[in-house]
Amino acid sequence: MTSWGRETELPPLLLLEPDGLVRGTVVAVCRDLELAHVIPVTSSQQALKVMRQAELSACVLSLSERELALDIISRLRNGEFRSPAELPVAVTSGSADAELAQVLKSLCVRRMLLKPFKIRDSIITVESLLKSSWVFS
């Protein structure tokens, strides 16, 4: 198991995911594989708080509270948080349409995972986001 000290050396990643089983599994796998120090939250309000306080390497946001989550990404792109405006972002959603796809494109969202997605795919997405985050570090 990764020690706390070592875990905090890993790139910080914000995960907004309301499903406890998905959230806990992603956190555990990222820790086990030493991919990221995941900061898990269950609501957009909590995600906003983390965005205000932490400098992140990437984030994965559920769109279960779609307007709030999109507002967070928009404010990120406007440079309102501690993280760089170019922070790599992926989203998860229970549905998708052309309008949402257009909004996500305008917000430079790297990837959307449609629920129910596999943990494997979310981990591959995390890896991809963190690789691209190196460009901005």
Partner 1 sequence: MITPPTPENEDERLAALRDLGVLDTGPEERFDRISKFARSEFDTPIALVTLVDHDRQWFKSNVGLDVSETPRDVSFCGHAILEKEVLVVPDAKLDERFHDNPLVTGAPNIRFYAGAVLRSPEGAPIGTLCVIDSNPRSWNPLDTSILCALRDVVADELAKKESKP
Q: Which is nearer to partner 1, 105 or 120 (CB)?
A: 120
114 interacts with partner 1 by CB under 8 A: no
Round to whole Å and give the CA distance between 17 and 8: 21
Q: Which stretch binds partner 1 (CB under 8 A): 7-15, 40-48, 64-72, 113-121?
A: 113-121
User: What amino acid is encoded at 75 in this protein?
Assistant: R
Neighbours of 82 (CB within 10 A): 13
CA distance 43 to 87: 20
Should residue 103 be labelled a site residue for partner 1 when binding is judged by CB under 8 A? no
**Interface pick for partner 1 out of 33, 96, 101, 114 (rule CB under 8 A):** 33
Q: Which residue in the set 21, 78, 135, 137 belongs to the binding site for partner 1 (CB under 8 A)? A: 21
* Residue 6 binds partner 1, judged by CB under 8 A: no
Of 118, 131, 134, 136, the residue at the interface with partner 1 (CB under 8 A) is 118
> Could you write out the DSSP letters of every residue in 23-87?
HHHHHHHHHHTT--EEEEESSHHHHHHHHHH---SEEEEE-TTHHHHHHHHHHHHTT-SSS-TT-
Judged by the rule CB under 8 A, the positions of this chain that interact with partner 1 are 21, 24-25, 28-29, 32-33, 116, 118-120, 123
